[in-house]
Structure 1
Amino acid sequence: MTLFGNFSDSSLNLLPRDGTVNYYGKIIDREDANRFYQKLFENIEWKNDEAVIFGRKILTKRKVAWYGDEGFEYTYSKTTKTALPWTEELLILKKTVEEETGEKFNSCLLNLYHSGDEGMAYHSDAEKDLKKNGAIASVSLGAERKFSFKHKVTGEKVELVLEHGSLLVMKDETQSYWLHRLPPTRKVTMSRINLTFRTIDERQ
């Protein structure tokens, strides 16, 4: 297992094989990150996430929201969401991320974790709605949390800590070969907002 500390060399690929993950560190200063966190917490149309497991619909404690250039539909965990129009704060963050990465995005999935008790199990973002091998840019606001990758074949693991105001980018074949998760922890009592800027494949 490789555990990366807090650093910001965006040219370094954190994965040893089969994909690309770059960590940019803090791209938003603390004061602005605090402001964005508060605005998003108050203004985003948060809803408990839904998933269908063994034919039963369950609601998670974690809350989510889905925004985009138009009313894109996005299906995961056997549920479909329709994108809401961008808010002012989301457009500013989208522009910031696009300038940092040189990528273009047309949608954003947001997650609100109320404390360290809430997390996300291992999964990959390889839904058919998304551009294949496209970049996914993850912005973290609020509590610092550990983030883990695991290779689907070899079981290799890579972990790092996502800082308040930081940017992580997953691209190329990462979703095909790697799983990722946000492990729960009782050490964190503060809440965290995660924004994942994505590209819906409009040709479908």
Structure 2
Amino acid sequence: MHQQQELNLPDAEVYFFPQFLSKEESDLYFVMLMKEVNWQQESIKMFGRQLSMPRLTAWYGDKSYTYSGLQNKPQPWLPVLLELKKRVEVVSGQKYNSVLLNLYRSGQDSMGWHADDEAELGQEPSIASLSFGAERKFSFKHKSRKDLKGQSITLHHGSLLLMQGQTQHHWLHHVPKTTRTVEPRINLTFRMVVE
């Protein structure tokens, strides 16, 4: 049985599995994902300028998906992604039809504050975030309640973070840059695109 921790965030359902996969399995998956995934350097329009995203990304699955003005056409599922999807679905009790992959090449790669609250993810999106490679800090802050202290956790090699229920309506999350020297990290966020 996977050891589970519930994060104490009001207006949210967030569960963390620090050792969802063993180190041996995680090492193997990391190598496969680095090699097999068709990583892209996307750019987005911000402040009237085209800027390169501070990480590499890939979108696989059954549906197109738009975020940050970026239209993602799905690539067909890889066997390794279907295998991981199945394992995550067993623990989350949810079904997923798509996955967004992020490759953080160094501590300078990051993800800004955002919520996964696009209409095509439905009323209460379930996001299953699987991490491989270097540990990185993952932070939360409430969208409207300034009295609530944000929370940070460390996402480990082989860990799984589930964000469900009202989480995306009330909380933002991000992966900050770090000046520490860190090895690459791969993150998979499984989701159900409903539209």
- Would you say same fold, with TM above 0.5? yes
Give SS of 2:53's match: strand
Runs of 4 or more above 2 Å deviation: 54-57
Q: Determine the structure 1 residue equivalent to 2:107.
A: 116
- Counterpart code for 2:95: K
- Per-residue deviation, 1:61: 3.7
Q: In the alignment, which of 166, 179, 195 is matched to residue 188 of structure 2? A: 195
Residue 101 (str. 1) matches residue 92 (str. 2): yes
State which drifts further: 184-193 or 89-98.
184-193
Q: Determine the structure 1 residue equivalent to 2:158.
A: 165
Q: Determine the structure 2 residue equivalent to 1:87.
A: 78
Q: In the alignment, which of 13, 25, 30 is matched to residue 6 of structure 2? A: 13
Q: Gaps (5+ residues) in structure 2?
A: none
Residue 51 (str. 1) matches residue 52 (str. 2): no
Listed as ranges, the matches of 1:21-100 within 5 Å are 21-68=14-61, 70=62, 72-100=63-91
Say how many residue pairs are matched.
192
Contact 2:127–2:162 (8 Å) recurs in 1? yes
- Counterpart code for 1:78: G
State which drifts further: 54-63 or 186-195.
54-63
TM-score, structure 2 as length reference: 0.94
- Per-residue deviation, 1:9: 4.8
Q: Gaps (5+ residues) in structure 1?
A: 1-7
Contact 2:54–2:110 (8 Å) recurs in 1? no
Contact 1:147–1:180 (8 Å) recurs in 2? yes
Q: Determine the structure 1 residue equivalent to 2:136.
A: 145
Higher strand share: 1
- Counterpart code for 1:195: L
Contact 2:54–2:108 (8 Å) recurs in 1? no
- Alpha-carbon distance between aligned partners in 1 of 2:53 and 2:9, rounded to the nearest angstrom: 33
Alignment identity in percent? 41
- Counterpart code for 1:81: N
